[in-house]
């Protein structure tokens, strides 16, 4: 097998594993956002890169700027996240920090 063929096979195997996981995460995040209505002062719609994951916390950076935010989430959601994945959606700034308001998709 050539090097490019090996790379393509590896990419396909990774995609076959990660794409269903990102879809599951998108549903989990959307359901969480829908079930936790919050009052917010500021809204940011963007693509957010997952920079770090802690139990119950996601460290995100916004694609459109230097904004770094931390969002509290249930443990099952943080467990499903991977550093480097991106979340497209909206977050709102509340008196207790940033919260997820909407999720449109999750990308590898």
Q: What is the DSSP letter of 85?
A: -
What pTM was computed for the model? Answer: 0.82
Q: Which domains does the chain have, with CATH numbers?
A: 3-107 (2.40.50.140)
One pLDDT digit (tens) per residue for the chain, 108 residues: 566 656 654 545 555 566 678 999 999 999 999 998 788 889 999 999 999 999 999 999 999 888 899 999 999 999 999 999 999 999 999 998 999 999 999 998
Q: Which pair of structure tokens corresponds to residue 25? A: 């995460």
Which among 80, 73, 76, 79 is positioned nearest to 21, based on CA atoms? 80
């Amino acid at each position: 097998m050539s090097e490019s063929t090996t790379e393509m096979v590896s990419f396909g195997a990774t995609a076959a594993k990660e794409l269903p996981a990102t879809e599951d995460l998108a549903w989990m995040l959307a359901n969480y956002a829908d079930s936790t209505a919050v009052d917010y002062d500021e809204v940011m719609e963007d693509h957010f890169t997952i920079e770090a994951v802690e139990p119950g916390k996601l460290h995100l950076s916004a694609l459109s700027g230097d904004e770094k935010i931390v969002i509290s989430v249930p443990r099952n959601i943080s467990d499903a996240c991977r550093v480097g994945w991106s979340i497209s959606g909206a977050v709102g700034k509340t008196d207790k920090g940033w919260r997820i308001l909407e999720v449109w998709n999750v990308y590898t």
